[in-house]
Structure 1
Amino acid sequence: MTENNKTDEKSGVAGFMQRAKQQAREKTSETTVTESAPFKAFEQTAESVAKNTMTEGQLFDTADALADYRLSDVNVTDTTCGHCAVGCRFDLYTKDGEVLGARPTDPEKAPVNGISTCVKGKFTYSYVDDEDRLTEPLVKENGEFREASWDEALDRVVEGLGDIIDEYGPDALGLIASSKATNEDNYVMQRFAREVLGTNNIDNCNRLCHAATVEGLAATLGFGAASTGLEALEETDCYLLTGSNITEAHPVFATRVKQNVAEGAELIVFDPRKIQAAEYADQFTRVEPGYDTTWINGMIRYIIEEDLHDEKFIEERVDGFEKVKESVQQFTPEFVEKKAGVPPEELKSAAETIANADSCMFGWALGLAEHTHGTDNIYAIANLALITGHVGDSKSGLAPFRGQNNVQGGGGDMGPLPNNFPGYQSATDDENRAKFADYWDMDIEDMPDEEGYRLTEMFLAADDGDLKGMFVQGENPTVSEPNIDHAQKVLEDLEFLAVQDIFLTRTAEHADVVLPATSTVESNGTYTSSSRHVQLVKRAIEPKGNTKPDWAITKALAQRFGYEWEYETASDIMNEISDLTPIYGGVSHERLENGEELQWPVWDEDHPGTPYLYDEKFLTDEGDELAHMHVAEGIDPAELPDEQFPLVMTTGRVLYQYHTGTLTFREEGLTEGYTGESFVEIHPDTAAEYGVSEGEYVTLTSRHGTAEMKAAVTERPSPGEVFTPMHYFKGGANNLTKEEPLDPPSKTAEYKVTNVQLTAEGQPEGERTPSEIETERDEPTVTTDD
Structure 2
Amino acid sequence: MSDQHPDETNSEEKSGVAGYMAQAKEMAESAQERGETTPDHGSDEGHSGPFAPAEHLAESFAANSMSEGRLFDVADAVSDYRMNDVDVTDTTCGYCAVGCRFDVLSKDDEVLGIRPNAEKAPVNGISTCVKGKFSYGYADDEDRLTTPLIKEDGEFREASWDEALDRVAEELQETKDEYGPDALGLVSSSRTSNEANYLMQKLSRQILKTNNIDNCNRLCHSPTVAGLSQTVGYGAGSVGTEAFNDTDCYLITGSNTTESHPVLATDIKQNLKEGAEAYVFDPRKVQIAEHATQYARVTPGYDTVWINGMIRHILEEDLQDDEFVENRTVGFEEVKEGVEKFTPEFVEEHAGVPPEQLKNAAEAVATADSCMFCWTLGLTEHSHGTENVVSMANLALVTGHVGTEKSGLAPFRGQNNVQGGGGDMGPVPGNFPGYQKVTDDDVREKFEDYYGVDDLPDEVGLTITEQFLAADRGNIKSMFVEGENPVYSEPNVDHAEEILEDLDFLAVQDIFLTKTAEYADVVLPATGHVETNGTYTGTTRHVQLVKRAVDPPGEAKPDWVITQELAERFGFEWDYDSPSDIMDEINDLTPIYGGVTHERLEDGEELQWPVWDEDHPGTPHLYEEQFNTADGKAHMFPTDISGPAERDMDDGDYPIKLTTGRVLYQYHTGTMTNREEGIRSYTDELFVEINPETAESLGIADEDPVRISSRKGEIEAMAQVTDRIGPDVVFVPMHVLGDGSDVVNELTDESHLDEQAHVPEFKVTDVKVVPRDRPTAVDDDANTSSPESADD
- TM-score scaled by length of structure 1: 0.91
| 1:96 aligned residue | 108
Residue 102 of structure 1 aligns to a residue whose secondary structure is strand
- Contact preservation (8 Å) 1:288, 1:339: yes
| 1:180 aligned residue | 191
Residue 759 of structure 1 deviates from its aligned partner by 1.4
Residue 762 of structure 1 deviates from its aligned partner by 5.2
Residue 732 of structure 1 deviates from its aligned partner by 1.7
Picking from 564, 587, 599, the partner of 1:578 is: 587
Matched, 1:730 2:746: no
Residue 57 of structure 2 aligns to a residue whose secondary structure is helix
What does 1:317-716 align with in structure 2 at a 5 Å threshold? 317-443=328-454, 446-620=455-629, 623-640=630-647, 641-673=650-682, 675-716=683-724
- Contact preservation (8 Å) 2:186, 2:480: yes
Residue 658 of structure 2 aligns to a residue whose secondary structure is strand
Label 1:51 to 1:224 Cα distance change in 2 as closer, same or farther (>3 A). farther
| 1:144 aligned residue | 155
Q: CA deviation digits over 1:140-171, x for unaligned, max 9?
A: 00000000000110011011111100110000
Picking from 122, 128, 143, the partner of 1:117 is: 128
| 2:84 aligned residue | 72
Structure 1 CA distance for aligned equivalents of residues 17 and 85 of structure 2: 10
Picking from 715, 720, 734, the partner of 2:728 is: 720
Label 1:137 to 1:608 Cα distance change in 2 as closer, same or farther (>3 A). same
- Contact preservation (8 Å) 2:221, 2:377: yes
Residue 416 of structure 1 aligns to a residue whose secondary structure is coil
Where structure 1 has 5 or more consecutive residues not aligned to the other structure, the ranges are: 25-44, 764-786
Structure 1 CA distance for aligned equivalents of residues 264 and 16 of structure 2: 32
Residue 409 of structure 2 aligns to a residue whose secondary structure is strand
Give, as a single letter, the amino acid of the residue that structure 2 aligns with 1:625.
G
- Contact preservation (8 Å) 1:50, 1:247: no
Q: Which moved more, 1:723-732 or 1:479-488?
A: 723-732
Residue 630 of structure 1 deviates from its aligned partner by 1.4
- Contact preservation (8 Å) 1:50, 1:255: no
Q: CA deviation digits over 1:676-731, x for unaligned, max 9?
A: 12110011111111111211111100011110111111111001110000012432
Residue 269 of structure 1 aligns to a residue whose secondary structure is strand
Residue 643 of structure 1 deviates from its aligned partner by 1.9
Residue 435 of structure 1 aligns to a residue whose secondary structure is helix
Structure 2 CA distance for aligned equivalents of residues 286 and 76 of structure 1: 46
Structure 2 CA distance for aligned equivalents of residues 246 and 239 of structure 1: 12
- Contact preservation (8 Å) 2:55, 2:129: no
Q: CA deviation digits over 1:433-461, x for unaligned, max 9?
A: 11011011112xx2101000011000111
- Contact preservation (8 Å) 2:57, 2:129: no
Q: CA deviation digits over 1:362-388, x for unaligned, max 9?
A: 100000000000000000000000000
- Contact preservation (8 Å) 2:77, 2:113: no
Structure 2 CA distance for aligned equivalents of residues 275 and 50 of structure 1: 21
Q: CA deviation digits over 1:6-41, x for unaligned, max 9?
A: 8754589865644789999xxxxxxxxxxxxxxxxx
Structure 2 CA distance for aligned equivalents of residues 51 and 402 of structure 1: 26
State the percentage of identical aligned residues: 64
- TM-score scaled by length of structure 2: 0.90
Give, as a single letter, the amino acid of the residue that structure 1 aligns with 2:225.
V
Q: CA deviation digits over 1:387-429, x for unaligned, max 9?
A: 0000000000000000110000000000001000000000111
Q: CA deviation digits over 1:587-619, x for unaligned, max 9?
A: 000000000000000000000000000000001
Structure 2 CA distance for aligned equivalents of residues 597 and 741 of structure 1: 41
| 1:739 aligned residue | 750
Residue 464 of structure 1 deviates from its aligned partner by 1.0
| 1:268 aligned residue | 279
Residue 218 of structure 1 aligns to a residue whose secondary structure is helix
Structure 2 CA distance for aligned equivalents of residues 684 and 60 of structure 1: 39
- Contact preservation (8 Å) 1:182, 1:527: yes
Residue 386 of structure 1 aligns to a residue whose secondary structure is helix
Picking from 193, 201, 224, the partner of 1:213 is: 224
Residue 329 of structure 1 aligns to a residue whose secondary structure is coil
Residue 761 of structure 1 deviates from its aligned partner by 1.7
Q: CA deviation digits over 1:521-547, x for unaligned, max 9?
A: 111000000000000000111121001
Structure 1 CA distance for aligned equivalents of residues 452 and 640 of structure 2: 45
- Contact preservation (8 Å) 2:218, 2:757: yes
Give, as a single letter, the amino acid of the residue that structure 2 aligns with 1:319.
V
Structure 2 CA distance for aligned equivalents of residues 425 and 604 of structure 1: 18
Residue 642 of structure 1 deviates from its aligned partner by 4.3
Give, as a single letter, the amino acid of the residue that structure 2 aligns with 1:605.
E
- Contact preservation (8 Å) 1:50, 1:251: no
Q: CA deviation digits over 1:299-346, x for unaligned, max 9?
A: 001101110000000000000000011111111111100000000111
| 1:237 aligned residue | 248
Structure 2 CA distance for aligned equivalents of residues 560 and 7 of structure 1: 53
Q: Which moved more, 1:9-18 or 1:483-492?
A: 9-18
Give, as a single letter, the amino acid of the residue that structure 2 aligns with 1:286.
R
Structure 2 CA distance for aligned equivalents of residues 718 and 518 of structure 1: 42
Structure 2 CA distance for aligned equivalents of residues 5 and 174 of structure 1: 48
Residue 324 of structure 1 aligns to a residue whose secondary structure is helix
Label 1:52 to 1:741 Cα distance change in 2 as closer, same or farther (>3 A). closer
Q: Which moved more, 1:307-316 or 1:720-729?
A: 720-729
- Contact preservation (8 Å) 1:17, 1:101: no
RMSD: 2.1
Picking from 175, 181, 197, the partner of 1:170 is: 181
Label 1:104 to 1:14 Cα distance change in 2 as closer, same or farther (>3 A). farther
Q: CA deviation digits over 1:239-259, x for unaligned, max 9?
A: 000000000000000000000
Residue 552 of structure 1 deviates from its aligned partner by 0.7
Residue 633 of structure 1 deviates from its aligned partner by 2.1
Residue 71 of structure 1 deviates from its aligned partner by 1.1
Structure 2 CA distance for aligned equivalents of residues 222 and 311 of structure 1: 21
Residue 639 of structure 1 deviates from its aligned partner by 1.0
| 2:320 aligned residue | 309
What is the total number of aligned residue pairs between the two structures?
A: 733
Residue 639 of structure 1 aligns to a residue whose secondary structure is helix
Structure 2 CA distance for aligned equivalents of residues 370 and 636 of structure 1: 12
- Contact preservation (8 Å) 2:56, 2:129: no
